Structure 1
Amino acid sequence: MEELTLIGKIAIFALPVIFAITLHEAAHGYVARYFGDMTAAAQGRITLNPLKHIDPIGTVLVPLAILLTSKLLGGGMILFGWAKPVPVNFGNLRRPKQDMLWVAAAGPGMNFVMAVFWALMIQLGHALGSSFASEPLMLMGAAGVFINVILMALNLIPLPPLDGGRIAVSLLPARLAMQFSRLEPYGLFILLGLLFTGVLGIILWPLISLFIGLIALVSGLEPAQLVGLIQVVLS
């Protein structure tokens, strides 16, 4: 396969990025409603309409800037972004501390499901053989696996307000949970600091490799094939 141009890379990543972020947020709202909080439902945020979730900076500008910078530097940067957070009033949950775990885990869980879906699209592209749609479908599938694995790994970092931070708050004893939750106003700044110092990559790449291997196992792909396709879309 030939190296993708910047325009080609944007075309390959556009749908996977939009749906990865959109369905991640919608999953939070759906599970919150299931456990008793109607805040997201009342604001129309439990929807597959991307326009309800897209943040112009986090969903569009940041991923585009990372793609452009990565292309100029020859790859290696971690692609990520964010959407408008789905509002959840944890106090409305039937068991706020316990149910917080399931609401938080719903986003990464949805990313896992989508990663498997995109891996199966690679299988479909392979089955199409020499069809004109085969290569684009396989490359989009690889982009879909990668962006969903990135979001899953990133959000599982135990740092409020990331999902992993909320899971940690749910699991910690009450006193420790309260102290740990006080990090939330500073979480984004800590995350950006980790990103620009390179520490975030050191934390994430082992998780990403583990999740890619798991997705390959679940979908029936050869790990080397999946990694090779991801390297093509990132190059």
Structure 2
Amino acid sequence: MLLRLLFQDPLTFAILASVLIFSLVLHELGHGYAAYFFGDDTARRMGRLTFNPLKHLDPIGTILLLVAGVGWARPVPINTTRLRPYRTGLFAVSIAGIVVNLTLALVFGLMLYWLKETQPEAVYYALTEGRTVGWAGVLTLVSFYAGLINLVLALFNLVPVPPLDGSRILMSLVPARYHPYIWQLDRYAMYTFLVIVVDLKMHGPLSRMLDWAQNAYLRLVLG
């Protein structure tokens, strides 16, 4: 999907890539600032509360984001024992990145809706033929892909399996005596990603859920 855009319209792809990389940075900053608000300044002391993408990006996660539309950045360091109050802080830190991605999806959705109302011809050619007509066509494709991908990143991270944010949200809701067992599951993170990749490839339950969410999003934005 995104590779085709790279060969068809390199300029639009470059703008979209910048937007998506910035989305990853904002996701991690959401975690970092939430932790700082609840008493943990680890990310600030390690220089991670910055907009500099080089401090956040993971090479493999970035490549996958630009190729497949699903990726990740280097997690900001967080010392959960310093969060006060612990349970509320853990919930806020865990969900902060997801909220950032949902907010970005909303912003790009509103932009796409505005373009549909004011520049319908450019939107039509961009979305049906992949042909950009002036600035409106470029903005249409960027908003279209950036909105969908930020939505997918948010929903993807809601899955309650380590090391995704959903597992930390789950931790904030269950008794503390179960937390050590959930933390230990992080060692199986690679297997988790393999299962998710297979699910997406075989159009399993997660894949169908993401497809439904994307279709609902587009129906809401484009009618």
TM-score by structure 2 length? 0.80
1:100 maps to 90
Q: What residue is the counterpart of 1:90 in the other structure?
A: 80
- Structural mapping, 1:34-73, within 5 Å: 34-59=37-62, 61-64=63-66, 67=67
The answer to whether structure 1 residue 210 and structure 2 residue 200 are counterparts is no
Q: Superposition pairs for residues 149-228 of structure 1, below 5 Å?
A: 149-196=151-198, 198=201, 201-210=204-213, 213=216, 217=220, 221-223=221-223
Unpaired segments ≥5 residues, structure 1: 68-77, 224-235
User: How much does 1:193 deviate?
Assistant: 2.7
Give structure 1 regions of 4+ aligned residues with deviation exceeding 3 angstroms.
Answer: 9-13, 128-131, 197-201, 214-217
Answer yes or no: is the 8 Å Cα contact 1:169–1:178 preserved in 2. no
Q: Which has the higher mean CA deviation after the structures are superposed, 146-155 or 169-178?
A: 169-178
- Contact kept in structure 1, 2:32 and 2:48, CA below 8 Å: yes
Shift of 1:157: 0.5
The farther-off stretch of 6-15 and 166-175 is 6-15
Give the TM-score, by structure 1 length: 0.77
Deviation for aligned residue 1:79: 2.2
Q: What is the CA–CA distance in structure 2 between the aligned matches of 1:132 and 1:147, rounded to whole Å?
A: 23
Aligned-residue identity in percent: 36
Quote the offset at 1:51 in angstroms. Answer: 2.2
Mean Cα deviation higher: 121-130 or 32-41 = 121-130
Larger helix proportion of the pair? 2
Q: Is the 8 A contact 2:70 2:152 kept in 1?
A: yes
Q: Which SS does the other structure have where 1:88 is aligned?
A: coil
Q: How many residues align?
A: 205
Moved more, 92-101 or 132-141: 92-101
Any idea what the Cα deviations from partners look like across 1:126-181, whole Å, max 9, x if unmatched? 32455611111111101111110111011100012210000011111223333233
- Give how far 1:45 is off: 1.4
Q: Residue 21 of structure 1 corresponds to which residue in structure 2?
A: 24
Unaligned runs of 5+ in 2: 123-132
The corresponding residue for 1:31 is: 34
Name whichever of 91-100 and 193-202 sits farther off. Answer: 193-202
Superposition RMSD on alpha carbons, in Å? Answer: 2.5
Distance in 1 (CA, whole Å) between partners of 2:53 and 2:95 is 21
The alpha-carbon deviation at position 111 of structure 1 amounts to 0.1
